[in-house]
Amino acid sequence: MVLNLTKGTIVMFATGLGIVGNIFVLVNYMCLFRSTMKSVQLILIHLAFTNTITLVTKGITRTISIFVLINLMDMAGCKILVYLNRLARGLTISTTSLLMVVQAITISPRTSRWGRLQPRSAWSFLLLLFFFWILNSLISMNLPFYIKHISNLNTSNISKNNNYCYFESENKIIRWIFIVLMVLRDAVLQGVMGWTSGYMVFLLHKHHQHVLYLQTSKFLYLQTSKLLYRTHPEMKVAQSVLLLMLCFLFFYWTDCFTSLYLTFSLGTDSIALGLHEFLTIGYAIVSPFLQIHRDGHFATCWFAQ
């Protein structure tokens, strides 16, 4: 009982901290977007909103499970919360991948192929974000049909018990179809992340070398100062986006390896179970504070409000 209470308190505190951080980031980026209308800011707004959904759904379900408050959950609640959590997971990786692509385009030279892809308006990305919602909704559409509440518990047909909701055994063909779709989505999007991150690192290195070359000439000091003033904000944002991607990949793959370990150990390791619970929401908790630490515009926007 004491262990459950401790776990519940930690989950509630971490979830609450993450929700506050994401709402703070969401409000500030909305403030910045109204004045600058940048594509990256629109995507970061969507990422903060997606992280909030992840924390609310996962935090509520884990808190109910740990404190054994199953009377607060019914069949519809199980279906909605688990479905939204899976949807938010897909939206997170989709939005992070789009963020990498947009930032790579933003820092590309205007004469390059990537530079020519820069959209005229940030609002054009709303269609892509809407497409991600449709795509991830379809990939997760099998969940509501197989999620049941514990009140309808039947031990003969349970594949996974989560104290308040459980997954009923489903057709193997349907299950593997949706598993393949999720794996394919994640593989493609992470491939895009890897390619764009390599391209961005190359551009950042090239920019750094160019600045060093200009600084070797005393006669080009003024030109160097202008170059640094013009490119420093964009390069700083690019570094922040790369840091967000590394943070996402760390939590994603650590979560995958922990899930595999729990699968083969039949979920008997309490430490690994607790770690897995944190890893599923770790990125949603940490990412807003990385953005707050890296972005100096937040304080200005906050005081302006």
Q: Where do the structural domains in the chain lie, given as residue ranges?
A: 2-304
Output the DSSP codes for 181-192: HHHHHHHHHHHH
Is the pLDDT score of 294 beyond 50?
yes
Strand order in the sheet with 147-149: 147-149, 165-168, 158-161
Kind and range of the H or E element at 58?
helix 39-66
- pLDDT exceeding 90 applies to what percent of the chain? 31
Question: pLDDT tens digits, residue range 239-271?
Answer: 888 899 999 999 999 999 988 888 777 656 677
Query: Taking 60 as the threshold, does the pLDDT of residue 72 lie above it?
Result: no
- Four-point Cα dihedral 196, 200, 201, 205, nearest 10: 150
Beta partners for residue 148, in sequence order: 166
Question: Which of 276, 303, 298 has its CA nearest to residue 48?
Answer: 298
Is there a contact between 56 and 136 (Cβ–Cβ < 8 Å)?
no
Quickly tell me which residue has 């929401």 as its tokens.
Answer: 281
Whether the predicted pLDDT of 225 surpasses 60: no
pTM value? Answer: 0.84
Regarding the domain with residue range 2-304, which homologous superfamily does it belong to in the CATH classification?
Answer: Rhodopsin 7-helix transmembrane proteins (1.20.1070.10)
Distances (CA, A) of 27 to 11, 96, 220: 24, 19, 41
Question: Out of 48-57, 131-140, 292-301, which region has the weakest mean confidence (pLDDT)?
Answer: 292-301
Residue 210 and residue 204: Cα distance in Å, rounded?
Answer: 10
